[in-house]
Amino acid sequence: MREGPLPGAGDWTHEHADAANTRVSRDKLVKAPMGVLWFGGTSHQGILPRHGHGPVPQAIDGRLVIEGADLLRAIDVYTGRQLWEARLPGLGQIYD
């Protein structure tokens, strides 16, 4: 069990990394070569398509928060496990 982010892990809280739109991660852990951390887990059922210019998922404290049609979901970035999902009617309607 892990509480919060790994030490040195960076956050990606806005579409272009941070409020200043730097497009730069402050992550101290990521180094090449990279590979798949997890595969499978929660389906993308109900999640808005990124190719339709939907909202960008946000990552903070080891959680990926992603918007769907009528829902908001949080996923553990280290395991792919769904942490929670909230039904919010009308959320994401503009992108669907």
Q: Which residue has the tokens 């049609």?
A: 69
Question: Which pTM was predicted?
Answer: 0.61
Q: Which residue has the tokens 């070569």?
A: 33
**The predicted structure's pLDDT at residue 41:** 67
**The predicted structure's pLDDT at residue 48:** 80
Judge whether 92 and 70 are in contact, CB under 8 Å: yes
Q: What is the mean pLDDT of each run of 10 residues along the chain (96 residues)?
A: 78 86 85 75 75 80 90 89 93 82
Cβ neighbors of 64 (< 8 A, separation 6 or more) are 57, 58, 74, 75, 76, 77
DSSP-assigned beta bridge partners for residue 12? 59
**The predicted structure's pLDDT at residue 86:** 96
